[in-house]
Structure 1
Amino acid sequence: MTTVVKVTKVYDEIIEFIAAGTTPQSVIDFKISAEAKERLDDLVYAHHTGELTPDEKKELDCFLTLEHIMRLAKARAYTYIKIE
């Protein structure tokens, strides 16, 4: 019997959030889960200690890109809230 373990990337929650559809308020309120935060902390620690694997580096880079996009989206969402 083979056991399949799904590895959740730190950025999967952001992708799921976007895919589910959003409102300006939900964008403003969005935060990653404690589990994703812990994974991110592990990736950052591995980066600082030089123990980051190439796959982990890709994961961290992708998260940082999406996190930047989310910051921009949050800033834009505030303008929509003020307009309404």
Structure 2
Amino acid sequence: MSESFIYEEVVDFIARSNPQNVLEFKPSESVNQKVSILLEKEREENITAEEKKELDYFLMLEHIMRLAKAKARQLLNAA
């Protein structure tokens, strides 16, 4: 089973749960601040292995949410 197939299944589940809520979802300000700090550390090549893992995890979740939002838009436009 490929990674993209797993992503598609999760994305479809999220998008179908409540498409409007999915479109309106935004990370909190504290999450945005934390990610900004981690991105800056990465740019400066001053990021620890644990921080890099945290950043990579967030970026993966952000990717999933972008895909879910695109799917939610499709669902709402088809309705």
Aligned residues: 65
If the length of structure 2 is used for normalisation, what is the TM-score? 0.76
If the length of structure 1 is used for normalisation, what is the TM-score? 0.71
Gapped regions of structure 1 (runs ≥ 5): 1-18
Distance 1:33 1:63 in 2: 13
Are 2:52 and 1:57 equivalent residues in the alignment?
A: yes
Distance 2:32 2:66 in 1: 16
Identity of aligned residues (%): 42
Q: CA deviation at 1:83?
A: 2.0
Q: CA deviation at 1:55?
A: 0.5
The runs of at least 4 aligned residues of structure 1 exceeding 2 Å deviation read none
RMSD between aligned residues: 1.7
Gapped regions of structure 2 (runs ≥ 5): 1-13
Q: Higher relative contact order at CA 8 Å, sep ≥6: structure 1 or structure 2? A: 2
